[in-house]
Amino acid sequence: MITVNRPSTQDSVIATVACAIIVYFVCKRWEPWRLAVVVPLTMLPPLVLSLPLAASVGFLNAVITTSSTFASALVAMLTFYRLSPLHPLSQFPGPLQCKISGFWMAWIVSRGKRHVYIQSLHEKYGDHVRIGPNEVSINDPTAIPQILGSYGWPKASGMSGRALHQDPLPLISLLDDAEHSRRRKSWNRAFSSAAVREYQPVVAQRATQLVQALQEQRSVVDLSQWMSYFTYDFMGDMAFGGGTEMLREGDKAGLWQLLKDGMSTAVPFEHVPWLSHYILHFPALIRSLTDLRALAFGRSKLRYERGSTTKDLFYYLSNEDHADAEMPPMKVVISDAVLAIVAGSDTTAVTLSNIFYYLISHPDTYRRLQEEVGKYYPPGEDALNPKHYVKMSYLDAVLNEAMRLYPALPSGSMRTPAKGSGGQVVSQRFIPEGTQVRVHPYTIQRDPRNFSYPNRFWPERWMIASGNQSHHEKIAHNPDALIPFSTGPRNCVGKNLALLEMKMVTCHVMQRLSLCFADRWDPSRWWDDLEDVFVSRMGQLPVIIRSR
């Protein structure tokens, strides 16, 4: 009689661990993400290895033993490597939980205070902090031109992860520099000096409508909501040739909530871009984002098929100006629909709301700006005519200071050394190829080495630096550290239009209205409610409005 030696549990565990190590190195080398590859690679080995053990402990117990061992071995290998000196980012300090998994930062994002958390890490660990297994945050203005400048780095995979690998990707998420440059040309035409002049009467019309609507309010007003209405209506005019009337009708369809929920759903995938491949198989979990896309794509498709009635954004994106030899495919044109809505409304609404929050919080600043507005636009003078804006140095100072303290995109975007470069040295630190890097605007712009009294709203700093005001002490002031619109070829293409909107609304409101906070409202609540979800999610800004 022949005796068959059944494998012991110990033998099976050893074999399972060995198999897990092999699978780990396969995944590390080729980084597969397709389910057809990942599922067999991670599910079949423990299942097959459980079969010999099943005769001894039963099939269910065997599967549990090998599966748990396999998973534990994979996690242990992953953790060991990410914490070991063998990891290419081992020289960068950072919290243990950040080094182990991107899920930690994804969770931080879901709480809305990523910008504050990253700032606290820089305060603790220094200018270069590892905020993910493969992600570094930099707080050094000398890194700005190299990473974001004219010959800066391409976008990182986290950007396409946040877009859930939309095909084709929107302009802001394109990883390929050549493709970005080609598609950016139509955006540059849409926001050229000539184009901005075309939009100017539309901005003035909407700003007039905003102030008239505010004058009609007879109770406490949520100013942030009205700024959102204004920017969304103007965005509709500018991008799609019209289509929304929130200033007149309010947000009956809940579009702003959809916008916020959609972006909140998307942004955690910046830190776990691989997961975005799989979340698409669970549409209920990303319903708000798919609904936002459906809304944006629907508006873009309708505008594309209708053709232009004015020289709006899609007039240029769809090449109706015939500047390019070929018409771009419709799917490429409408791929930027969400970008047009978010960039054209949310960022400006947040900045305008912050401007008036700071002005109301600082009565001396409020009075000084009001005096400057009165100097150039006395009663009877049209404050919506931009002819004097270039001379209004204190207006520029107020805008710069508001954007310094809270940029519309507090955590910026993600870049990576060019593929094939092997990595690059930036601010005297070597960044390996494939590393996701962000220059963190919120931290840089609040660093005392760049700006004295960094957490203080003090527009006078800009007047002192420009020589328009004297001061008894020397102050730190580094204008190169101010990057609310980013910089370089991937900067905010609508910067000049956004500044025009801000100046028009600020001057018109200061000329026509008097603002103060609602009684018994705690101003600190504004910062408690303000959240970083790539763009910014605002709470209420309750004010009392009187006509001047």
Q: Which of 27, 53, 83 is the last residue of a domain?
A: 83
Q: Is residue 63 part of a domain?
A: yes
Residue 533 — φ and ψ, nearest 5°? -125, 60
- What average pLDDT does the segment 101-122 reach? 96
CA distances from 26 to 17, 45, 462 (A): 14, 13, 55
DSSP 415: B
Q: What's the pLDDT score for residue 2? A: 47
Q: Which CATH number fits the domain that encloses residue 312?
A: 1.10.630.10
Last residue of a domain, one of 42, 66, 83: 83
- Crossing angle of helices 495-512 and 223-240, in 10° steps, is 140
Distance CA 334, CA 313 (A): 11
Is the pLDDT at 1 greater than 50? The verdict is: no
Q: What is the pLDDT of residue 12?
A: 82
The pLDDT > 90 percentage for the chain reads 76
Condensed to tens digits (0 to 9), the pLDDT of residues 211-230 reads 999 999 988 999 999 999 99
Residues 216 and 71 in one domain: no
- Indicate the helix (H) or strand (E) that contains 539: none
Task: List, for residues 280-334, the tens digit of each pLDDT value.
Answer: 989 999 999 999 999 899 999 998 888 888 899 999 999 999 898 788 888 998 8
Instruction: Estimate to the nearest angstrom the gap between the alpha carbon of 293 and the chain centroid.
Output: 17
pLDDT at 511 over 70: yes
Spatial distance between the Cα atoms of 129 and 135, rounded to a whole number of angstroms? 9
Determine, yes or no, domain membership for 48. yes
For residues 79 and 196, state if they share a domain.
Answer: no
Report if residue 165 sits inside a domain. no
What's the alpha-carbon Rg for the chain, to the nearest Å?
27
Task: Name 451's bridge partners.
Answer: 477
Instruction: Tell me: do 492 and 370 sit in the same domain.
Output: yes
Residue 374 lies in a domain: yes
Find out whether 143 and 258 touch, Cβ atoms under 8 Å.
Answer: no
Q: Of 29, 54, 83, at which residue does a domain stop?
A: 83
pTM: 0.94
How far CA 119 is from CA of 125, 127, 233, 328, in Å, comes to 10, 10, 34, 42
Q: Are residues 234 and 350 in the same domain?
A: yes
Burial class (CB in 10 A: 0-12, 13-18, 19+), 35: exposed
Q: Which amino acid appears at position 85 of this protein?
A: P
> Is residue 39 packed enough to be buried (19+ CB in 10 Å), middle (13-18) or exposed (0-12)?
exposed
Which residues 6+ apart lie within 8 Å of 188 measured at CB? 493
Residue 215 lies in a domain: yes
Same domain, 76 and 178: no
Average pLDDT of the segment spanning 141-164: 94
pLDDT computed for residue 495 by the predictor: 96
Q: Are residues 219 and 331 in the same domain?
A: yes
Q: What are phi and psi of 536, to 5 degrees?
A: -120, 135
Domain range enclosing 29: 9-83
CA dist 285 and 356 (Å) reads 36
Instruction: Report the number of distinct structural domains present in the chain.
Output: 2
Average pLDDT of every residue of the chain: 93
Residues 354 and 456 in one domain: yes
Q: Within a domain: residue 124?
A: no
492 annotated ligand-binding residue: yes
Q: Which amino acid is at 471?
A: H
CA distance 170 to 165: 9
Question: Of 224 and 252, which is predicted with more confidence?
Answer: 224
Element spanning 311, H or E: none
Share of the chain above pLDDT 70, in %: 99
Confidence band for 6, pLDDT divided at 50, 70 and 90? low
β-partners of residue 175 are: none
Task: Tell me, yes or no, whether 151 lies in a domain.
Answer: no
Same domain as 385, residue 506:
yes
Tokens of 348: 């400006």
**What's the 3-state SS for 176-244?**
CHHHHHHHHHHHHHHCCHHHHHHHHHHHHHHHHHHHHHHHCCCCCEEHHHHHHHHHHHHHHHHHHCCCC
SS3 5: coil
Distances (CA, A) of 5 to 19, 49, 380: 21, 16, 100
Beta-bridged to residue 537, according to DSSP, are: 531
Q: Do the strands 135-138 and 128-132 form a parallel or antiparallel pair, or are they unpaired?
A: antiparallel
pLDDT tens string 72-107: 999 999 999 999 999 999 999 999 999 999 999 999
Question: Is there a single domain that holds both residue 381 and residue 477?
Answer: yes
CB 330 within 8 A of CB 217: no
